[in-house]
Amino acid sequence: MKKLLSSITLFIVLPFCAHAQRNEFDASINIGNATIVSQGGFEDFFTGNEFTPKSFSPSFFLTLKHYFPNHLGLGITGGIFFDKGDYAYRERSDSYNVGPYSRTSFILSPELEVPYYIQHGLKLYMVVGLGARFSAATIDGNSTSSYARPEPNVIIPALQYTPIGVRFGTGIGGFAELGWGYKGIINAGFFMKF
């Protein structure tokens, strides 16, 4: 855990240390569909809990990035989403249904942006991110056994792979991304350079 937090801290501080090389930062706000974030397989592997989501809120993210002279972007993103569904506890090959849950998840992740094409205010790029998801769930179950309750706070890895992103505008503009991970399949928003 210390290594993960140290890595995230490094990615927060590094872009600001590079400020002397080139003064090009941007901040972006975006909204995406959180369905991929909440799929149970990844979390089931790490926690033994089986969350079967039935409804999701959109995911909301704020990203700060520094751009190097070669146009690579390195930054940090933070976001939040909510989901509800059914919860079960898995022990070996058995699964115990507990009841409905509601959960809040926070994402914190460094991201690397690699451009494909930059011309006249249009940019095509890819994004890769690996960070952490912090989740807290409330279970409304009828089971009285202690093992049938998830830990109130769970920290698991969070991944994002966006093979295609389109950004338009120079100082202020918009963007749309198509990918897989904590931001969902599709997300869009606006940015401002400073």
> What is the identity of the amino acid at 18?
A
Q: What is the arithmetic mean of pLDDT over 60-79?
A: 93
All structural domains of the chain with their residue ranges? 2-193
Q: What is the arithmetic mean of pLDDT over 41-45?
A: 61
DSSP secondary structure of 33-58: E-HHHH-HHHHHHHHSEEEEEEEEPE
Q: How confident is the model at residue 150 (pLDDT cuts 50, 70, 90)?
A: low
DSSP secondary structure of 121-143: TEEEEEEEEEEEEEEEEEE----
Percentage of residues of the chain with pLDDT beyond 70: 70
Most confident of 25-39, 40-54, 177-191: 177-191
Q: Contact, 184 vs 36, CB < 8 A?
A: yes
CATH code of the region 2-193: 2.40.160.20
Most confident of 136-140, 150-154, 176-180: 176-180
Q: What is the arithmetic mean of pLDDT over 143-161?
A: 69
| pLDDT of residue 113 exceeding 90 | yes
Cα–Cα distance for residue pair 101/2, rounded to 1 Å? 30
pLDDT, tens digit, 9 for 90 and up, residues 83-106: 888 777 766 666 677 778 888 889
CB atoms within 10 A of CB 82: 15
| pLDDT of residue 119 exceeding 60 | yes
| pLDDT of residue 55 exceeding 70 | yes
DSSP secondary structure of the chain: -HHHHHHHHHHHHHHHHGGGT---EEEEEEEEE-HHHH-HHHHHHHHSEEEEEEEEPEEEEEEEEEE-TTS-EEEEEEEEEEEEEEEEEEETTEEEEEEEEEEEEEEEEEEEEEEEEEETTEEEEEEEEEEEEEEEEEE------GGGS--SEEEEEEEEEEEEEEEEESSEEEEEEEEEETT-SEEEEEEEE-
**More confident position, 143 or 178:** 178
Report the predicted TM-score, pTM, of the whole model to 2 decimal places.
Answer: 0.77
What average pLDDT does the structure give for the chain?
80
pLDDT of residue 43: 64
pLDDT of residue 182: 87
Q: How confident is the model at residue 38 (pLDDT cuts 50, 70, 90)?
A: very low
